[in-house]
A and B are shown apart, each in its own frame.
Chain A
């Protein structure tokens, strides 16, 4: 289970962002209250494309009961959601769609890549599939598994809560947003290319060109 470093904005943040104001007890108390409210009322925007979405439905249903975390309100509209949960593989054809959905969500917003395919492309190392949604949008929490069990997903959500509780209003760069042009990549081209290097997978083929 991996948690990406803080800084949800598209560009990431400059290193060593230091506020001139040092955190005093008012700010830390307010931070605590704001983060408590945010962490306990995440409104998910489920982007379910495959079997992970089934597992997510099981997590939302009564046995595992996401409403314990204040997450029972599914926002099937990016404008009424602050938590994009990508459950399943994302083919290249959906890449502009998920980026547009992310761009339409208001700040503050967080993203979780649920399952192997959303995190890395999984077994679909082929011509049609993005190799992880972090090539398109920034991701806060990666949940491995194929698909992850509801317990795994809930653990990922709790890690996200932990991350949200660590945010502070002094570091506004977390919420800075720089929407990318259509076609612009989030990371250097060489990083994206590196993702298709073989991992000892039997389907790995040499490119003909």
Chain B
């Protein structure tokens, strides 16, 4: 397993110092790339002959227990023709802004995966077509549950959590696009029409700002 993954060598010769360290873990090659040029690198990995990583298996994120270590966004790529996989990581230092470019233009399947990372880790994906929470409800105000500084039971008291959850209208998860479609069909309740007219997302019910900041 000491052989360097051919894609990593190709990446180094193409992008030079944009490519960070690489390692092999349990037979999988991991390569760090620089966040600012990640989108170019992803396009290159997908479109270049002999690379052809045309299948995005998963996008996820990691926060290490060691508080000094950066957050990582992890992309698992697979080439269906060549049957080769590659794990690409982007390190995000915690003191910088937690944002990377969205890879939805490269692989459409990244849409919901990136929304999940945004929901659970608070990492922003620049250029994502519809970056909303996906697992927690839209007005969830406690923060990002999979971050290490998030207590298991959340920040708010049980009664406050329940109150806010019960306030969330079951329709409120609709995106503005979905609301437009429902509106065109004449199928939209009044409060949602109002919301669509304002182009706004739902607010935390009855909240003072201090409360929603936890």
Contacts and interface: CB of A to CB of B under 8 A. Distances in A.
Interface of A: 92-93, 95-97, 99-100, 125-128, 130-131, 135-136, 182-185, 189-190, 192-193, 195-196, 203, 205-209
A128 B162 contact: no
Given A126-B153, A183-B206, A208-B151, A192 B158 contact: yes
Contacts of A128: 136, 145
9 contacts: A93-B137, A96-B168, A127-B154, A182-B205, A184-B163, A185-B159, A192-B162, A207-B151, A207-B155
A99 B166 CA distance: 8
Question: 5 tightest A-B contacts by CB?
Answer: A127-B154, A92-B165, A189-B159, A183-B167, A192-B159
Given A205-B151, A207-B151, A185 B163 contact: yes
A208 B155 contact: yes
B158 A96 contact: no
B7 interface: no
Contacts of B168: 93, 96
A131 B158 contact: yes
Contacts of A205: 151-153
Interface residues of B, number: 27
B153 A96 contact: no
B169 interface: yes
A92 B159 CA distance: 11
A135 B162 contact: yes
A127 B142 contact: yes
Contacts, number: 85
Contacts of B161: 92, 127
B155 A96 contact: no
A98 B11 CA distance: 52
A182 B165 CA distance: 9
Main secondary structure of the interface of B (DSSP, over half): loop
Given A203-B152, A207-B153, A184 B166 contact: yes
B136 A93 contact: yes
Contact of A183 (B150, B158, B205): B205
Contacts of B170: 96-97, 100
Given A96-B169, A97-B170, A100-B170, A209 B155 contact: yes
Q: Looking at B136, B152, B158, B167, which has the most chain A CB atoms within 10 Å of its CB? A: B158
Given A93-B137, A126-B152, A195 B166 contact: no
Given A135-B162, A183-B163, A192-B159, A127 B137 contact: no
Given A127-B145, A189-B159, A93 B152 contact: no
B166 A95 contact: yes
A203 B214 CA distance: 21
A92 B153 contact: no
A193 B154 contact: no
Contacts of B153: 125-127, 196, 205, 207
A96 B136 CA distance: 13
Interface in B7-43: none
B2 interface: no
B162 A185 contact: yes
B167 A130 contact: no
B37 to A, nearest CB: 36
Given A92-B162, A136-B166, 14 more contacts: A92-B161, A96-B166, A99-B166, A126-B152, A127-B154, A130-B162, A135-B162, A183-B206, A184-B163, A185-B162, A185-B163, A207-B153, A207-B155, A209-B214
B157 interface: yes
A195 B151 contact: no
Contacts of A130: 162, 165
Contacts of B166: 95-96, 99, 136, 182-185
Interface in B188-214: 205-206, 214
A33 B165 CA distance: 41
Interface in B114-169: 136-137, 142, 145, 149-155, 157-159, 161-169
